Chains A and B, each alone.
Chain A
Amino acid sequence: MPTRAFLFWLLDGLLAIALAAALAVAVSLLAERVAGAELLLALTLLCTAGLARAGAQVLAAGAGQHEAARAKQAWRVRAFGAVLRAPAGLRVMLGEQTADATDRIEDLDGYHARFQPLRLAAVATPLMVAAAAATASWVAAAIMLATLVPFAFGMAFAGTAAARAAARQLDALSKLSGLFIDRVRALPIILGFGAQDRVVRQLGAATQDVAQRTLVVLRVAFLSSAVMEFFAAISVALVAVYCGFSLLGLLPFRAPETLTLGRALFVLVLAPEFYLPMRRMAAAYHDKQIGEAALERLTRLAPTDGATAASSADLTAPPGMDIRDLVIAYEDKLIGPFAFIAPAGELTVISGPSGAGKSSLLNALLGLAPISSGEILLDGAPLVATQLQGAVSWTGQMTLFLPGTLADNIRLARPDASDEDIAAAAASAGLTALIAGRPAGLQTPIDPRGSGLSGGERRRIGIARALLRDAPLWLLDEPTADLDAASADALIALIRSASQGRTVLLVTHDPAVAALADHHVVIA
């Protein structure tokens, strides 16, 4: 489908023809020694055509950029969803996924803004230029078209090799970016153990590797554009030599047409214009390679059109849960089988040795772990993968912070909660000391990293959310971790009373907590 950017590039080609015509007319007038108004008009046309071309190029760039923004926006919807809903613990590095969902989408910018419109223009404009040249000299037009054949072969050959190299290079770039993010994150550990030298050596090897790969990709791209440059130059040379000999009457064959100086100059100036759109496309060839390789990675990352968030279950009453021979299969590790019943409206504590997969089990209930066999029954009906998302109270090992105040962050669990509800939940979760200690209290701003909050405080914010949400089903992963014994006891008592009549699944190591359970499930 012809886009606006493409049409502007086409206009640019038309104006190039006008410019060549104005030049040819001006020179013919000079040759006939006609000065005055006619010459002035021709020279004015020449300047005007140049200005108009400039305008068309600006419009083409702007239109291309708008098209790119649309395409990127659509990919972001897909990629953001895919990463944020991905099961934790897959083999890909988080840094790598981040690079995919941000940098790779930015890689599409040049692909859509420049390469796509230029690719269409690279087909249409040369044909238009050749047609215009044919009106002055069909032989010159034929020379232009003839040089196109070897050129096309060269491009096709170089193109496939380049695409393969580009894909490899993109992988390397993503990995490198992921490696940098990871090592910067782990800086405290690296410093603590004095491991700087080893890590720097490793990164040094990785970056040089990427530099070499990039050079291989570029060499292929440069070769293919050298092929093009060569034919562009040769076509100018052939047109010039043909026209010159024809005007001298020295052609070694019978002259197929009668040339004038004006016609000859017109086709000479058009000869570079014939190849210009293709040279422009070649200049955007890097955009193409990077863009296509990025598309491939993005397709792998987010194969479907996102927006598949299954409608969440509408839990009106505390559900009973029946876990039947559930097995979770990560790439190289099987967890389970789990088999137990969590009766409706009661507190079920799950404990077991570390590494048995307690956290994975909770993730599986949310549809965030790959289940290989067995099933989860919710009030007797099989649970659909992501059905419980948005329908539970939750505390996990990581607490999410959105930019905003402390109150905003607690409110995430129930957006329609009143300020009083939030204050009450915060107080119940034991955040009173924290709130009292900050001048802005609940309005204290929090950044996405939760800077300045201790491990226990993060945990308590998570618990405040669970209390505020007060869903019929609570999933609590080690709610008392990072808390001292007295706080932990107080918190368990609170959970016990606040969750009265809700179905609660609580994962813990703490025998004191397990003792309070209505049901105690030990998994091995």
Chain B
Amino acid sequence: MTPHMLTRSLDRGATIFIAVVAACGILIPLSNLLLPAGSFLQVPTYLVALWGKYVCYAILALAIDLIWGYCGILSLGHGAFFALGGYAMGMYLMRQIGTRGVYGNPILPDFMVFLNYSKLPWYWYGFDMFWFAALMVLVVPGLLAFCFGWLAFRSRVTGVYLSIITQAMTYALLLAFFRNDFGFGGNNGLTDFKDILGFNVQAEGTRAALFALSCLALIAGFLICRAIVSSKLGKVLIAVRDAESRTRFLGYRVESYKLFVFTVSACMAGVAGALYVPQVGIINPSEFAPGNSIEAVIWVAVGGRGTLVGAALGAVVVNYAKTFFTSGMLAPYWLFMLGALFILVTLLLPKGIVGTFNAWWDSSEEKRTAATLASAAAEDGVTEPKMAE
């Protein structure tokens, strides 16, 4: 059943995508670790970390495409789920520091000693165990999305209203996490990580492994999304996207479908955040900024909404451009370009890169088929019927 479902959902684009991601996930770490430093083909460690970041963003973009591209839910607060996943992982990493912190407290992270905490807040319990933290990476964003979505979808908050209140949600979390007494490090967030599962997070081997893991997670996320959107459930989601009221009138419980896909998407965003934190080495409240979430939406729009492959591609392309432009003398113009990208993509390229390419490919395919048919018909000596004048 499962293999059948997978093969059915794999078209050519998806196969190429998985092959490329898998190749990157294997070759980049190998070249980093095995080839001598400075060699032409060796990928430097900083690039491994940078591309690891892009891959995490691609997972986040996939999550957004799943709800926006296939269910019409435009969340401007998906950065919140990403950041919550990141914080869950960050808390595990903080607990792993142990006595190696500046204050050498075996239980309390440095910032808590600094802020005169006498004991660990209850919500930090359990984060010294990896399995618990990994579970929380899924549960915390998922639970928030479930509660939020349950309230919102049940009262039929849709369209721009939903976008605005998701934005308010991430803004409220931003304000909360900036507070020192909230127990998550306030302004500075969580940083100075040492170990993950006993491996040094700074070590080349760990970074390479994290990169490979991120690629694996991207492929897994992609397969899950493919499975969802190509199932019968996916068809209903698309129906909700295109005509919500009509779907409801046909007897589908629209809010249940939306809630399911919203929660899955939030969990994916959480995983992306959890993989992001050890590679970047810090998580702080600025990840909750509404601007970040909106930027993530534009990755999806650039790559192609409702194509999955496009979302991942868009995330990588836009972030690569961001790194390229903000590091050079063009830095002051980056915001102009990003802004123009928002405007031009929505005006001129509404289907995104992949969507436009697919449309072009399909139409040329059709032409080729039509041409083959026409030539075959000509050989048979049959002419096409002329249109009436």
Whether chain B is bound by chain A comes out as no
